[in-house]
Structure 1
Amino acid sequence: MFWSHSYRAVRQQWRVCKTLARRVPGASHYPLCPISPSMARAFHAARPLLAVKPVLLADIGEGIVECEIIQWFVEPGARVEEFSPLCEVQSDKASVEITSRFAGVVKKLYYEAGEMAKVGKPFVDIDIEGDANEQDTKPSTPPVHQTELAPTQAPVRPAAEETAPAQVASLTAREVAAQSEPAGRPKGKHATLATPAVRHLCKTLNVDISEVEGTGKDGRVLKEDIQRFVARRDARAAEPAAQPEAPAPQPTVGGFGSPESALAAGPQQETRVPLTRTQEMMFKTMTRSLSIPHFLYADEVDFTSLVELRSRLNKVLTTSSPGSGDASTAEVTKLSYLPFIIKAVSMALYKYPILNARVDVDPNGNGNGGKPTLIYRSHHNIGVAMDTPQGLLVPVIKNVGARNILSIASELSRLQSLARAGRLTPDDMSGGTITVSNIGSIGGTYLSPVVVEREVAILGVGRMRDVPAFSDVPGEEDKVVRRQVCNFSWSADHRVVDGATLARAAQVVRAIVEEPDVMVMHLR
């Protein structure tokens, strides 16, 4: 209110000054007019807000500085609403959909699909005052049933795309529509819509996804489209010159080719294949992790009692009525050994919290004079290494100390389902304090795991196997019994963790796994 009154008073005073300047010579020196008319012209209101808003790529945490644009959901000229999806990006952790902060018309896309976008930099411009005109709102490619050709024009297709009548009868309507489209029609950015699994298939088969016509919803490229495109490409490549007939394959023994057939196949050939996004993430992460001085500690754990306890609990879960108990754990119908191991690790962290800490090197000397420090963390966020179709991923089970076995199993099942579908979020992949890698589910007995960056320890679990052992029952020491044994392999950051500390912590985990009834005394 004060500024409004002041602004009106100054405007009124300047109008008086201008009037005096026109009527009386030298009125610019009038006491009521301390500012000359020429200077008064420079006075103006505040600069109007810009109509075109640049949208910045937000920081998604964990020190990520760039993301790959996987696909765009909009094109220049498209109308967007607030919180509508703009694009999907792939970071070092997971894929994320970026939504719009404004409602308006898209004016500019700073990156193409497949390019790296910088965090904190603009990646799209939106006109918040504009409206999509009729030309902008038209689809970039007209539907097939509305496409009209001139009388003298006809769609020209390569000979490899000609389909026999018998084959046409077996094609679906979607495939017939895709083959009947003009081959040279322009493709918009919607032609590159595809899931991460389809993009991985494109990289494997060396296919440019922008050249593939998508037959899915909104022009999405499907696996069938990629396979059909590769078949046509190979057929066209084989047409120009007839290749000599290849020699008959040599008989194989047990599914493996003979050495003679390998030598007769010709000189060694090498194929260059770029790394997938997940492999690039693993390359960067492991390169940084191997700058940490590691040491390995291995132990042998008797799973016999845990096998019996798990068998009894699974019988209870099988006979219990569906939907009984907590809603968050109602879907658990069978327990694996991994939730017990994760809980045992969490219980050991209460006695040895250094294994739950992280090292802050502080290279810039911010707040600590450049000296390294240990940062202890209260929650036990245990990462679980998983083998997925996209590669190695490490989702995190948060606050394990406050969870029971069923809650851990339920969260583990949820993360495994999301990992297989490639739908893990950055929150699912961030915040880990220690990692467990269960290589035994594939078959390894021993391993030397690599400590994850921002952590100081990792546990590798080998496969369980039956071994003969002497009985520990008094009076039956000479009796040989069967035991289920599993190997635990620990790695730790030797800059802050010594061997004795890790050995004592490993003994705590071993004691809990070998006597799992101890967990009952520590329920929270």
Structure 2
Amino acid sequence: MFWHQSARAVRHQHQQWHLHGAVLARRLVAPTTTRRPSPAARAFHAARILMAVKPVLLADIGEGIVECEIIQWFVEPGARVDEFSPLCEVQSDKASVEITSRFAGIVKKLHYDAGEMAKVGKPFVDIDIEGGDAEKDALEALTPPEPGPPTKSSSPGATSVPAPTTSAPEFRPAAQGSAHPGGASQALARQRGKHATLATPAVRHLTQELGVELAQIDGTGRDGRVLKEDIYKFVEQRGSVATPAAPLEATPRTASPASPFLSPDVSAVGPQKETPLVMTRTREMMFKTMTRSLSIPHFLYADEVDFTSLVELRQRLNRVLAKSGVDDSHVSKLSYLPFIVKAVSMALYKYPILNARVDVDGPNANGSGKPMLVLRSQHNIGVAMDTPSGLLVPVIKNVGSLNVLGIAAELGRLQSLAAAGKLSPQDMAGGTITVSNIGSIGGTYLSPVVVEREVAILGIGRMRTVPAFSSALGDEDRVVRRQVCNFSWSADHRVVDGATMARAADVVRSIVEEPDVMVMHLR
């Protein structure tokens, strides 16, 4: 029985093999002109093109940031990128950051255009990490050769039809003396696009204020970067072209106002006009931040500080720096702000509550869910700066471990980056208390607003010269010249009371009025 079943199986396999051989023989004998191979048959003999498109996710570039604005793209679909090569520039939380590629390959898709808001954690560009030259070679191998010109076939009445071909458009330079006045300029104009223009955020902010399209401006900076001078030159040329020449017999106009602060259109009579203006990214962030900050109950404490001794000390130290030259700290001249920042840090050691933050909604250490005061060990003092992009608050990290010269060096570095619009999120994160020197612009008194996640802020007014009675023994009736400045403190009244604020402000005042005290507290 066993041998009978085995023989039956062998005969069945033999029949199947003969049948398969006959089918293959018919396929090989059949003429290729009468049968076209199916796509499946071609895929069996050709290697499949391997493509792996990787979506690049927008990583978290700051504390609590959920979206950022695409300032400009450095690539476009079809461009080859390497690992760590720049893809785009984004602006978030008042800082601009260059996003680099995590992969090497071919850019397939840009999910956002310049000016749109990109979501953190979502794809913003697709990159084919296995495409490129290998993909091009495989496609060329699978593409049949283009047929030549039509030839007569050996069979009567048969001709081969050529495949339609496209030829590149011929470039014809504009003829001299063309009737179109702008023909030559249009022929020589460079090609522009959303990926071709480079500019800093400050320059882009200026274009928005002047109503200028950045892509229309020829940049004279490095790699074609548009500078502020290019924008002003473009505006002047546009005004000269757009404004027609006045006729010789014109209607006499009303004389323009004599004041240089008034516009010539002040005397124009007509209805009120309202022009909507879209907020820039920096102003939008300031709107959101200040809205949250004003939910904090503030109270103001002001004090007058005698700067006379600090003025003399600064003059002596600047003379020393001028003689010794610029050292490794790259500080050639000291301002008053590094001394004030150091004085605030010294006061925080005695009153650490001013360096704390209020934890209202987050998870607390005791698990009770009640509001808590979180103390912080490092003094990260933010300094408000007026920049072309708007108000920015970079942070000087760990001020307690720096001397006055080190604070001045870090302050100079942050000011240079802020003016160029190159502050990183790390330069603006982690602040514990803020100092705003509004007096460098003007104003004697101010009421600063406490920054979110902080409990106090110091506003510095303008320094001025006033007459005062001498404090020296025996000279109480003699009037002397003094340099005074007003310090305005704002604090979170939920956790800081007036007495604590007054005592901490008195420590800062005593150190600034006697700056030699800093020598005794050097670390």
TM-score range, shorter chain: 0.7 to 0.9
Which residue, out of 272, 280, 300, partners 1:268? 272
1:220–1:442 CA distance, 2 compared to 1 (3 A): closer
| 2:376 corresponds to 1:377 | yes
| 2:187 corresponds to 1:181 | yes
8 A contact 1:204–1:273 mirrored in 2: no
Deviation at 1:236, TM superposition (A): 7.5
Indicate the residue corresponding to 1:193 in structure 2.
198
State the secondary structure of the residue aligned to 1:279.
Answer: helix
Indicate the residue corresponding to 1:429 in structure 2.
428
Distance in 1 (CA, whole Å) between partners of 2:193 and 2:279 is 26
Indicate the residue corresponding to 1:292 in structure 2.
296
Distance in 2 (CA, whole Å) between partners of 1:272 and 1:53 is 41
Distance in 1 (CA, whole Å) between partners of 2:263 and 2:85 is 58
Deviation at 1:190, TM superposition (A): 2.1
Indicate the residue corresponding to 1:438 in structure 2.
437
Deviation at 1:149, TM superposition (A): 2.1
Indicate the residue corresponding to 1:449 in structure 2.
448
Deviation at 1:364, TM superposition (A): 7.4
State the secondary structure of the residue aligned to 1:516.
Answer: coil
Q: Residues 473-509 of structure 1, C-alpha deviation per residue, up to 9 Å, x if partnerless?
A: 1122112111111100000011111111111100110
Indicate the residue corresponding to 1:312 in structure 2.
316
1:408–1:216 CA distance, 2 compared to 1 (3 A): closer
State the secondary structure of the residue aligned to 1:463.
Answer: coil
Distance in 1 (CA, whole Å) between partners of 2:70 and 2:177 is 34
State the secondary structure of the residue aligned to 2:187.
Answer: coil
Pairing 1:124-203 to 2, within 5 Å after superposition: 124-131=125-132, 149-150=171-172, 161=182, 179-181=185-187, 187-203=192-208
State the secondary structure of the residue aligned to 1:189.
Answer: coil
Q: Residues 187-235 of structure 1, C-alpha deviation per residue, up to 9 Å, x if partnerless?
A: 4432343322332232123234345566766565555665576567667
Higher-Rg member (1/2): 2
1:439–1:256 CA distance, 2 compared to 1 (3 A): closer
Indicate the residue corresponding to 1:140 in structure 2.
none
Deviation at 1:472, TM superposition (A): 1.3
Indicate the residue corresponding to 1:111 in structure 2.
112
Q: Residues 228-280 of structure 1, C-alpha deviation per residue, up to 9 Å, x if partnerless?
A: 765676678667x99x9575351533435599x73444333332222222211
Indicate the residue corresponding to 1:55 in structure 2.
56
1:332–1:453 CA distance, 2 compared to 1 (3 A): same
8 A contact 1:107–1:127 mirrored in 2: yes
Deviation at 1:158, TM superposition (A): 6.9
8 A contact 1:156–1:182 mirrored in 2: no
| 2:521 corresponds to 1:522 | yes
1:407–1:215 CA distance, 2 compared to 1 (3 A): closer
Deviation at 1:64, TM superposition (A): 0.8
Indicate the residue corresponding to 1:513 in structure 2.
512
8 A contact 1:362–1:368 mirrored in 2: no
Distance in 1 (CA, whole Å) between partners of 2:383 and 2:177 is 54
Partner amino acid for 2:102? R
Indicate the residue corresponding to 2:67 in structure 1.
66
Deviation at 1:419, TM superposition (A): 1.1
Q: Which runs of 5+ in 2 are unaligned?
A: 1-5, 11-49, 138-167
Distance in 2 (CA, whole Å) between partners of 1:289 and 1:101 is 37
Pairing 1:490-509 to 2, within 5 Å after superposition: 490-509=489-508
Pairing 1:458-469 to 2, within 5 Å after superposition: 458-469=457-468
8 A contact 2:69–2:91 mirrored in 1: yes
Partner amino acid for 1:479? R
8 A contact 1:57–1:118 mirrored in 2: yes
1:467–1:158 CA distance, 2 compared to 1 (3 A): farther
Deviation at 1:307, TM superposition (A): 1.3
1:267–1:297 CA distance, 2 compared to 1 (3 A): same
Comparing 50-59 with 86-95, greater Cα deviation is found at 50-59
Deviation at 1:83, TM superposition (A): 0.5
Deviation at 1:438, TM superposition (A): 0.7
State the secondary structure of the residue aligned to 1:181.
Answer: helix
Indicate the residue corresponding to 1:86 in structure 2.
87
| 2:260 corresponds to 1:252 | no
1:235–1:465 CA distance, 2 compared to 1 (3 A): closer
Indicate the residue corresponding to 1:347 in structure 2.
346
Indicate the residue corresponding to 2:361 in structure 1.
362
Q: Residues 102-140 of structure 1, C-alpha deviation per residue, up to 9 Å, x if partnerless?
A: 1111111100000000111110111110116779xxxxx
Q: Residues 409-450 of structure 1, C-alpha deviation per residue, up to 9 Å, x if partnerless?
A: 111111111111111111111111000011111121000000
Partner amino acid for 1:347? M
8 A contact 2:62–2:426 mirrored in 1: no
Q: Residues 331-367 of structure 1, C-alpha deviation per residue, up to 9 Å, x if partnerless?
A: 2121111111100000000011010011111267897
**TM-score (ref. length: structure 2):** 0.77
8 A contact 2:345–2:400 mirrored in 1: yes
8 A contact 1:300–1:486 mirrored in 2: yes
Distance in 1 (CA, whole Å) between partners of 2:233 and 2:332 is 41
State the secondary structure of the residue aligned to 1:90.
Answer: strand
Distance in 1 (CA, whole Å) between partners of 2:511 and 2:263 is 51
State the secondary structure of the residue aligned to 1:384.
Answer: strand
Partner amino acid for 2:501? L
Partner amino acid for 1:109? L
Q: Residues 354-413 of structure 1, C-alpha deviation per residue, up to 9 Å, x if partnerless?
A: 100111112678973432111111100001111111111111111000011111111111
Distance in 2 (CA, whole Å) between partners of 1:124 and 1:254 is 53
Deviation at 1:150, TM superposition (A): 3.8
Comparing 222-231 with 338-347, greater Cα deviation is found at 222-231
